[in-house]
A and B are shown apart, each in its own frame.
Chain A
Amino acid sequence: MLTNFTSIALTIVGALAWGLLLGGISRSVTARVHGRIGPRVTQNFIDIWKLFRKTSSIHHGGMFWMAPMFRITGAICVLLMVPLVIGQNITCNMSFAGDVFLLIYIMFFGCLGMALGAGNSGHPYAVIAVSRGLAQMSAYELSFSIAVVAIAVGLHTFRVEGIVAAQQAGITSWNIFRFPFASAGMLIAFLPMQMAYPFGIVLAPQEIPIGPPTEYSSRMLSFMFSGRALFGVAKLLLFVGLLFGGASSWLSLLVKTFLLYMYPVVVSSVFPRFRTEQSIRFLWFVPTTLALVDLVRVML
């Protein structure tokens, strides 16, 4: 049994490294889809170190500096509450009764922080992107929350560990088979969460180049990229726990998170982008209806 501090540090460093590596792999996969060679898989590590060592002389107010910290804090909170591998003591797990509700809220904490920071930067592209992002977030958050509640009510537990434990009787006990509609709704909501196309209206390089982080540079951008990588892994772990039976070994954890990560990457490579109103209309209607079907089924 490791000390709390060591296990927390291990969890964060491991998740960061895995998140950055997955990001590098996704860049390579996207490049292959384009018929290019693409960057090396370690490119994200190189980018982050370079950004960290650049000078920074830009100041746009306190919230501007706080936003990347909000993002990293939100990511770490989610990460520490989601079980990684069942029955191991190396990494940290602060799961408690009712943590599903806290996770639903805290997953969007980083996005709200980013919205405040980007708004403080005063750049028009950042402000447009933030308004788009918040509108889209309210759309997919609804379907995500309904789906999670449907699963939690169906399994009579509001603890992520409990949800994972209820799926240990073989593949057919995974929630993706027991709650197919709610799972479909969650997996559709997963695309905008990962800013994947066709829902990539926040960064939208052709219209509002890179959106919220327009004014961010150097260390702040480095923290932001790190936060994104951490948050990506935290979301993957949560989805693996909620839908795919958690992980019984480190290998199954890596395989499951890798395959789940590739799903938005591949979808993103072949789809064009929705306009804002198309994206929001789709998210309000399709995944929400799917999630509601399972919720009603469970309640009946």
Chain B
Amino acid sequence: MYCNQRPEKPGNKKEFLKKITNMARANSLWVTAYGTGCGAIELRPLYTSRFDMERFGIAMRPTPRQADVLIISGYLATKTLKRVIRVYEQIQDPKYIIALGSCTINGGMYFDSYNTLNVLDKYLPVDVYVMGCMPRPEAVIDGFSLLMQKIKDGRAQGWKHYKENLDYYRENQKKIITDWDLPDYNW
């Protein structure tokens, strides 16, 4: 079930207890359990006793409805983009994207591939990049720390940017997804 209505532009509304809320948001990051590429294999050790991401308040959620963070884990194939858009737009605001690996920055080793996106930021608003091929779990935790700091400072505004510039993102997305059959916004 989804509706066709485009989202309202968020603007700069005054928020009740903004600082406390941002602290809570930073210390309770729920991640959509969705792996787009090979980087997903580096996320598994984060659940284990060696790295234990739950000590930072980070948890996995099996549904985008309850998540805050979407991790683009490595290369993003043109086929996967449609699914990623659906997942990202179903996450409720505020929401954040962490992009793992060189592939999301410039295509990495797939820079000349016919079916891999080169610059992720053209299609979805990335809040934090974690470079490497592949980034080790320590680097992923470092990326999370960076995101937490950005949220505390009120600088993780990718979701606002996405809604305000939806036409720009849609135009780029439609260049890749030639059989576009999605609604105007996937609630």
Residues of chain A at the chain B interface (Cβ within 8 Å): 27, 31, 34-40, 43, 46-47, 49-50, 53-58, 60, 122, 205, 209-210, 213-218, 221
Contacts of B21 in A (CB 8 A): 49-50, 53
Pick from A55, A122, A210, A221 the residue with the most CB of B within 10 Å.
A55
Contacts of A37 in B (CB 8 A): 52, 55
Write out, one digit per residue, whether chain B residues 24-65 have a CB within 8 A of any chain A CB (1) or not (0).
110110000100000000000000110010110100011101
The SS class assigned to the B binding surface is loop
CB–CB B65/A60 < 8 A: no
Contacts of B28 in A (CB 8 A): 43, 46-47, 50
Asked if B1 CB lies within 8 Å of chain A CBs, one says yes
> Chain A's nearest CB lies how many Å from the CB of B145?
16
Asked if B94 CB lies within 8 Å of chain A CBs, one says yes
CB within 8 Å for A46 and B63 given contacts A53-B21, A57-B187, A58-B187: no
26 contacts between A and B (CB under 8 A): A34-B49, A36-B48, A36-B49, A36-B54, A38-B52, A38-B54, A38-B55, A39-B55, A40-B57, A43-B27, A43-B28, A47-B24, A49-B21, A49-B24, A50-B21, A50-B24, A50-B28, A50-B68, A54-B93, A57-B7, A210-B61, A214-B63, A215-B63, A215-B65, A217-B65, A221-B66
Contacts of A122 in B (CB 8 A): 1
CB–CB B27/A36 < 8 A: no
> Chain A's nearest CB lies how many Å from the CB of B58?
9
**In the assembly, what is the distance between CA of A55 and CA of B157, in Å?**
15
Contacts of B48 in A (CB 8 A): 36
**In the assembly, what is the distance between CA of A39 and CA of B54, in Å?**
5
